[in-house]
Amino acid sequence: MRWDKLNDRQLKILTDAHCRMYENRIRRAHEGARGIRADECEMLLGTWMSIAGKLEQGDWRLRLTRDEVGEIQDALDSGEYEDALSAIEDAPS
C-alpha cells in the first residue's frame, strides 16, 4: 500500500496508533525502562502529531513534509497495520 492511496480514516488509524505507541515509550523511558531513546521517541511523536494536525485541517496530502511522508510509508511497509487498513479501504472506482 502507498501513502498517497490512504483515505482519511486509514491515516487516522495510523496517527492514533503511532501517537499512542510513542507516548507509551516516552512514559516507560521516564519510568526507567532501558533501551528506549526518549529523545528519538519525542521527535517521532512530534512528527505523528503534526501529521494528525494536518489530517484535521484537510488536504493533508498537500501539506505533508518529506519526513512525514517517509514515516507514513515506513508504517505501511512494516505490514503491521495491513489488516486494520484493508478493513476500511475505499472501494475501487
44, three cell numbers: 517521532
* Count of structural domains, the chain: 1
The owner of cell 488536504 is 59
By residue range, what is the domain housing residue 59? Answer: 3-86
18-73, pLDDT tens digit by residue? 999 999 999 999 999 999 999 999 999 999 999 999 999 999 999 999 999 999 99
Q: Left (φ > 0), alpha (ψ -120 to 50) or beta: where does 92 sit?
A: beta
Residue 93: inside a domain, yes or no? no
Which letter does DSSP use for residue 92 in this model? P
Structural domain contains residue 50: yes
Residue 92 lies in a domain: no
Q: What is the pTM of this model?
A: 0.91
User: 10 Cβ partners below 8 Å, 6+ apart?
Assistant: 85, 88, 89
- Tell me: pLDDT of 92 over 70: no
Is 18 contained in some domain? yes
Question: Residue 34: inside a domain, yes or no?
Answer: yes
